[in-house]
Amino acid sequence: MNSEFENKVQSQPIREVPPHWRARIVAAAQPQPSRWREWFQPFPRAWGALGAAWVVIIALHFTTPHEPRFTGNSYAPQSFAILQEQTMMMAQLLGPTNADEKPSALPAEPKPRTERTRKELIG
């Protein structure tokens, strides 16, 4: 049953693994920390605060009404009258401006390039 090779292997003495190899093998066999732990490990309080903030935001989202309530016009009619009066006073203080005057003849709009080139070629 045993072949010559198997007999030869069984007769070989077992050697110890060199110590520097053993240390590297054991280190490689240890479970590695997850990527998540690498992210969260340096600043656990900051990540906890961020998580708490998100919990508060989500809670506020689900507890507030989805439909905005219309309360009507929030400005009193008197405030519009006051605003109009202030605008008129400001106009009187500033006096006539260039914006009140009508602009002189406006330049004609530029024509499309195709029409300009046709006229230049023909003329």
pLDDT reported for residue 121: 63
**Residues 40, 47: contact at Cβ < 8 Å?**
yes
**Residues 17, 25: contact at Cβ < 8 Å?**
yes
Radius of gyration for the alpha carbons in the chain, expressed in angstroms and rounded: 43
Start-to-end CA distance of the chain, whole Å, equals 110
With residue 47 as reference, give the H or E element that holds it: helix 44-63
pLDDT reported for residue 71: 63
- The whole-angstrom separation of Cα 89 and Cα 101 is 19
Q: How far is CA 83 from CA 87, 91, 93, in A?
A: 6, 12, 15
- The whole-angstrom separation of Cα 67 and Cα 7 is 86
pLDDT in tens, the chain (123 residues): 578 888 888 888 888 888 888 888 888 888 776 777 777 778 888 889 999 999 999 999 988 877 766 666 666 677 778 888 888 888 888 877 665 555 555 556 666 666 656 666 665
